Amino acid sequence: MSFEGMKVFNIDHGSAIPLHLQVEDLLRELIKNPEYQEGKLLPNEVALAKQLGISRNTVRQATNKLVFERLLVRKKGVGTTVAKDNITTKLDKWSSFTHEMGEKGVTFRNYEIEVAQVEADEEIRRLFNITRKSKVVKLERLRGLDTGPVVYFISYFHPRVGLTGKEDFTQPLYDMLERTYHTVASVSKEGISAILADKELSKKLEIAVGDPVLFRKRVVCDPGAGLLSITLAFTGQINLPIPLR
Amino acid sequence: MSFEGMKVFNIDHGSAIPLHLQVEDLLRELIKNPEYQEGKLLPNEVALAKQLGISRNTVRQATNKLVFERLLVRKKGVGTTVAKDNITTKLDKWSSFTHEMGEKGVTFRNYEIEVAQVEADEEIRRLFNITRKSKVVKLERLRGLDTGPVVYFISYFHPRVGLTGKEDFTQPLYDMLERTYHTVASVSKEGISAILADKELSKKLEIAVGDPVLFRKRVVCDPGAGLLSITLAFTGQINLPIPLR
DNA sequence: TCGTTGAATATGTATGAACATATAGACATA
DNA sequence: TATGTCTATATGTTCATACATATTCAACGA
């Protein structure tokens, strides 16, 4: 079997290895090709089955597993592609995670709010060194994949940071701050842990209450200007990088 | 449908909801029963299909998903049961750590093992590009504070890495590899997510079953020599940087 | 121009059948 | 007693087939 003159794959009907496993391996190899990584439709199920001399059911048995792993995305009426926003590959470079997501799948809203009315108000007051009545800008961002929302960000900006509304929140926050406010922002503190989703989080991330969620805190500051923002990120819906069994 | 006088379940053939999804829900309910939680065999596929008036394939389509989620375990020739442990059943066999370093709060033990016998064997075989019969070195480490164990590491070394037994595992792994093997090791891949502690993990980390645990994967490689090791880290007991409410 | 229709296409759902194979237990044998 | 064999059972694999449904896009018509 070959597609567009690529490497030739074969199925061994006499092998002790089940056909669907052979197909699975074959597909894992096939989708390494850049064209598929870039979104090209895989050969459709019927054609693939015919070319390999097996039934469509067997092909589906193989692709089912890859779809479960979220390596592939099947779309009715269209076809099957490599999951472009494959969370596993994205998380390979966690730091640049937000950078690579692009504009797609990003929603946000921001508004002024009294410190007293936000979560973690004490911590924020302490870090920002402001009073309970002070107003901060709260920014909520939701980032998603084909499979749904994945990361929920909450950022609080120091009162001195006046947002214009034209900021580009699809970029990492500190990039934006640097460009917009000509500061020398740097990540001063980072914490990471696992928590359980509460009602609000579960709604945002479209997961069940009690599902495990990755929680990350990042403080962006300017050594000269003082603290600028605190960002909380909640990440659900992540496949185990290694499927344990 | 009912089993042993339990709650009656029904399949609606006229419903807009696909049969296999109805069966899936039905099974999720069914296995909440203590008897199934305790290991009782589920009704076998053929009987279940017959009782529900659907085909065996449709039943399998439903159970496939639950098996993939590791909620169910199917055993050829035996039957299907609720999975006892989520992370790995093989953790059961693990004996207590034999070696204890002088370094406070660090225990470890390492031994050769066939790939086929480890968790995540498929992924490891794929990453290391080795056969099922290959032997890898498995290293378990437990790192703790005064308050108890905090991080539980599992590392697998590529067969080409022959451990002498004199390695210093109290240092970061890639440091050790660099010093010992004069490689130019670097972290090539990192995945991170949140999972729920199962029985074995909870025992290792001395937390409750169901507590959220931070899961991290790290692959250390030498650009010249290739992949060197894969490390899984399970971290519990982390204080939230910001106490959420 | 804009909206509708319909065909082509690809995946989604579901059935029924057949044979393979691992497991446990009953039974027979050395 | 220990071992080997047979058998019933349940899952594993694979096939052929049929129809449902979402998507795209081109052709058509107001």
- pLDDT (tens digit, 9 = 90+) per residue, B79-108? 998 876 433 332 222 223 333 333 344 556
User: Cα angle vertex B233, ends A37, B231, to 5°?
Assistant: 60
CA A237 to chain CA centroid, nearest Å: 9
- Phi and psi dihedrals of B82, rounded to 5? -75, 135
What are chain A's domains?
Answer: 19-84 (1.10.10.10), 90-235 (3.40.1410.10)
What is the spatial distance between Cα B173 and Cα B185, in angstroms, rounded to a whole number? 10
ipTM: 0.53
Structure tokens at B6: 């339990």
Residues with CB under 7 A from strand D: A 18-21, 53-58, 61, 75-78; B 16, 41-42, 44-47, 57, 60, 74-80
Query: pLDDT by residue for chain A (245 residues), tens digit each?
Result: 555 544 556 788 877 788 998 898 898 888 888 888 888 899 999 999 999 999 999 999 999 988 876 678 888 888 998 876 443 333 332 222 232 333 344 556 666 777 666 666 666 676 666 777 777 777 776 665 544 555 666 777 776 666 655 566 655 555 565 555 555 544 444 455 566 666 666 666 666 666 666 666 666 655 444 555 666 666 654 443 333 32
- pLDDT (tens digit, 9 = 90+) per residue, B102-127? 334 455 666 667 666 666 566 666 66
Element (H, E) at A66: helix A56-68
Tell me which nucleotides of strand C come within 7 A of a protein CB: 8-18, 21-24
Using the Cβ of B237 and the Cβ atoms of chain A, whether some distance falls under 8 Å is answered with no
Tell me which nucleotides of strand D come within 7 A of a protein CB: 8-18, 21-24
* B244, pLDDT greater than 70: no
Nucleotide C9 C1' to residue B150 CA (A): 54
Number of A–B residue contacts, CB under 8 Å = 106
**Contacts B122 to A, Cβ<8 Å:** 243
- pLDDT (tens digit, 9 = 90+) per residue, B17-44? 889 988 988 988 888 888 888 888 999 9
Using the Cβ of B91 and the Cβ atoms of chain A, whether some distance falls under 8 Å is answered with no
pLDDT of residue A37: 82
Using the Cβ of B208 and the Cβ atoms of chain A, whether some distance falls under 8 Å is answered with no
Residue A144: how many CB atoms within 10 A of its CB? Answer: 19
- Tally the C-alpha atoms within 13 A of residue A8's C-alpha that lie toward its C-beta: 2
Do B212 and A195 lie within an 8 Å CB cutoff?
Answer: yes
Q: How many residues does chain B have?
A: 245
